[in-house]
Structure 1
Amino acid sequence: MAGICIKPMVLCLVLVFVLGHAIAEFPKFHHRMKGGNNNNGTLNFLVIGDWGRRGEYNQSQVANQMGRVGEELDIEFVISTGDNFYDNGLSGEKDPEFVESFTNIYTATSLQKQWYSVLGNHDYRGKVAAQLSPYLHQVDSRWFCSRSFIVNTEIAEIFFVDTTPFVRDYFRAPNEHSYDWRGVTPLRRYISNVLTDLQLALKKSKAKWKIVVGHHAIKSVGHHGDTVELVNLLLPILREYNVDFYMNGHDHCLEHIRDKKSTIQFLTSGAGSKAWRGDVKPFNNEGVRFFYDGQGFMSLQLTEEEAKIAFYDVFGQVLHKWTSSSQLHSDM
């Protein structure tokens, strides 16, 4: 399996688990692209979010189509935008939900690749340490989840950001849900460290494509809408360092929205299982290139010269395509 070295990854996982927010910089992993095959210098991967429901709400059907598209594109890996296990994350390392909602669902040969995952708000309702634990990597070697980290490829750098602690509503009382905030307190320092580390990493990056992944949307016309805290704190950094794509889940839909003040494209892929039909906020189409309120997923194909994105529904039909040049950062 192409990807990161297993032993160093496990070591880094242990460090993340033990040290938590004390790490000075985002852990960085180098994903070695496989040679030959159908890629010819192209980095292909899938993006899925808000999925873990033991196959229900069309999760299994979406997984089947991911397997088909993954084979056609000869993908390198899969990105999960969070809310990996519903409704309340994992209860522990040996929670059967992990196998029942992940291992037993994404069984296609093309999906037996590395999965890079961030945490969502539903994951924080369980024991966060369970999803971050190296034990799950032993159960299923595809699994990798951390709070914030970087995946470096030959073509792109992908910056994964832990966005749930940014959202103030989760901390306000009364709250019908309980969250596992161990490892993110004191909160103000944690958020400051995340932003500082991201800014430093983006400043150092020489990648052709810069992609940031978080669970919560910066811009969305779905149920939750824009995340004000990310608009105020994260978006200015993405604009300053010319990030190409911000990818998220949280809203159970598929979206493509163009930033009005930069070349950033906001891509929502949070339709891995339960979708919210008809739950869309009024908008005047300004900046909104695509919205779909059903289940599905997204693919990205990156070369040194261009990026191609595509959104698929539960039947594997292409709903929306878009191409961008790395030279001009404009529509083709």
Structure 2
Amino acid sequence: MDGSCKHCLKWMWVACFYFEFMLVSAEFQRFQHPVKADGSLSFLVIGDWGRKGAYNQSQVALQMGKVGEKLGIDFVISTGDNFYEKGLATPYDPHFKHSFTNIYSANSLQKQWCSVLGNHDYRGDVQAQLSPILRKIDSRWLCLRSFLVNTEIAELFFIDTTPFVDEYFRNPKHQKFDWRGVIPSNKYLTRVLKELRCALRESVGKWKIVIGHHPIRSIGHHGQTKELITLLLPILEAYNVDMYINGHDHCLQHLSSITSPLQFFTSGGGSKAWKGDFDYLDGGGDDEIKFYYDGQGFMSVELTPTNAKIAFYDVSGNVLHSFNSNQLYYTYSTEM
């Protein structure tokens, strides 16, 4: 193991949800979470949601509570754009309670929320969302730039993708971004990618899942993110990552790589959706389109040591699309 991969600093507890973290660097922290007694793990994924209950946010939250109870979820993942339109102004911004605490109130959702930042979050005070003050207001909240959650059978790598997008620096369109802690961006991105490579190289989890706000592949409004295709995708393929999960496009979708087992999942339907806004020709690249839905909803992930089951739900709780990794790997191996 090289020196850059040695992680040995300090441990401390976060809230009372069995999360621990080890400080690795200023950008990458490590958390531990147990699996269930039977060795399984389940969680929900929601993105692009914080609108004080509007645009069906409350209805999506209601269905999340029902599915979360049925599955006995261990935690919730947010893929970013947590608070519209411009993140939080301060750690005491009432937007936090109106869009998070008061909305996701079901008993099953009183678990740790692991959140990344989206581009709209960068338009507010980024430090407010990262502040431990929010954890005192609502102990479920955990938002960091980039970090890792180890769950024994799976490792989840959360990546801060907004600073990867050149357009936000070149052409902000009168939008201000809070780049504190990011400038100079080339050094920041180099550090993030180095930490990710190191963590993936050390990973012994059965499942490797990377989460970011921006899509790598997408047929939605924003489409694929060229910077992530250049800088991030080769790392995911080199270290046999199973899933990349994102938000940003306000839809639900599943694309499957035709050159590797890597699956691309978008869960960005937490509130406002973009009906009819998609591009089959541009966003998918050479990957196979499995599912696309231009409405509100969320996704669930159920993991065992031998299988991963993904399901997408609409605002009424109907299952729109499901995916079983056993079927994929059988198909992939026979086609090869």
Counterpart of 1:47 in structure 2 is: 45
**1:210 and 2:211 aligned:** no
Q: 1:144-198: per-residue Cα shift (whole Å, max 9, x none)?
A: 0000000000210000000000000000146220000000111100001111110
* CA spacing shift, 1:276–1:303, aligned 2, 3 Å: same
CA distance in 2, matches of 1:213, 1:47: 10
CA distance in 1, matches of 2:331, 2:162: 31
User: How does the TM-score come out when normalised to structure 1?
Assistant: 0.91
Aligned residue among 61, 64, 86 for 1:63: 61
Counterpart of 1:5 in structure 2 is: 13
* Residues 1-332 of structure 1 mapped to structure 2, 5 A cutoff: 5-6=13-14, 23=25, 26-35=28-37, 40-173=38-171, 175-283=173-281, 287-325=288-326, 328=329
- Provide the aligned C-alpha RMSD in A: 2.3
Partner AA of 2:33 in structure 1: H
SS of 1:5's equivalent in the other structure is strand
Aligned residues of 1:54 and 1:97 also touching (Cα < 8 A):
yes
SS of 2:279's equivalent in the other structure is coil
Aligned residues of 1:305 and 1:327 also touching (Cα < 8 A):
no
Stretches of structure 2 that go unaligned for 5 or more consecutive residues are 1-11
Aligned residues of 1:304 and 1:326 also touching (Cα < 8 A):
no
Deviation of residue 33 (structure 1)?
3.0
Partner AA of 2:66 in structure 1: R
SS of 1:57's equivalent in the other structure is coil
Deviation of residue 262 (structure 1)?
1.1
Question: Number of matched residues?
Answer: 318
CA distance in 1, matches of 2:105, 2:71: 17
SS of 1:171's equivalent in the other structure is helix
Deviation of residue 11 (structure 1)?
9.7
CA distance in 1, matches of 2:328, 2:276: 38
Q: 1:76-118: per-residue Cα shift (whole Å, max 9, x none)?
A: 0000000000000000000000000000000000000000000
CA distance in 2, matches of 1:263, 1:11: 31
Q: 1:12-64: per-residue Cα shift (whole Å, max 9, x none)?
A: 69x79xxxxxx2672110012354xxxx3220100000000000000000000
CA distance in 2, matches of 1:45, 1:303: 12
CA distance in 1, matches of 2:26, 2:269: 34
Aligned residues of 1:249 and 1:270 also touching (Cα < 8 A):
yes
